Amino acid sequence: MLSERLEKELNSQINKEFYASYLYLSMAAYAEDIGLEGIAHWFRLQSEEEYEHAMKIYEFVNEKGGRVVLEAIDKPQTEYKSVKQLFELALEHEEYVTDSINKLVDLAIAEKDHSAVVFLQWFVEEQVEEEDSVNSILDKFKFMREDGMGILMLNKDLGSRE
């Protein structure tokens, strides 16, 4: 059984994961609109992954006898000044989610909910991967010139993500 507070915070995390899915889908739509289908593909896959994260928490709350309460999802940003900004904002959002997951772990530890602590460890590890993935893309921008060739190469590379 989940404590009332942990149930509330897990529900909040479900909302954050659904928002992340929505945000990345918005970024995919932007990339597609400017003709960068590979980058759009990468963000669509990120969107699907975030949806799966939300559902993973959704299922955990139900398994623990809690009640999932879905809230409204905020409208994501739809205009961006550059492709690089997409990834900068993605990293910023992943850091926000990491902080949120860490606070959930702290709460689960404080409440001595060992099953929640074990469950949340997967998300702790996943956030390391998420931040690293976006950081490695941002690292590539350091080597790009203004002629757009680097963006096209990145577009091709990210389009091959499975």
Q: What's the CATH code of the domain at 29?
A: 1.20.1260.10
The number of folded domains in the chain is 1
One-letter amino acid at 130 equals: E
For 83-100, letters b (16+ CB in 10 Å) and e give: bbebbebbbebbeebbeb
pLDDT one-digit tens code per residue, 62-93: 999 999 999 999 999 999 999 999 999 999 99
Q: What's the domain range around 95?
A: 4-159
pLDDT one-digit tens code per residue, 103-150: 999 999 999 999 999 999 999 999 999 999 999 999 999 988 767 888
Sign of CA dihedral 54, 60, 64, 65: positive
Confirm if 7 and 113 have CB atoms less than 8 A apart. no
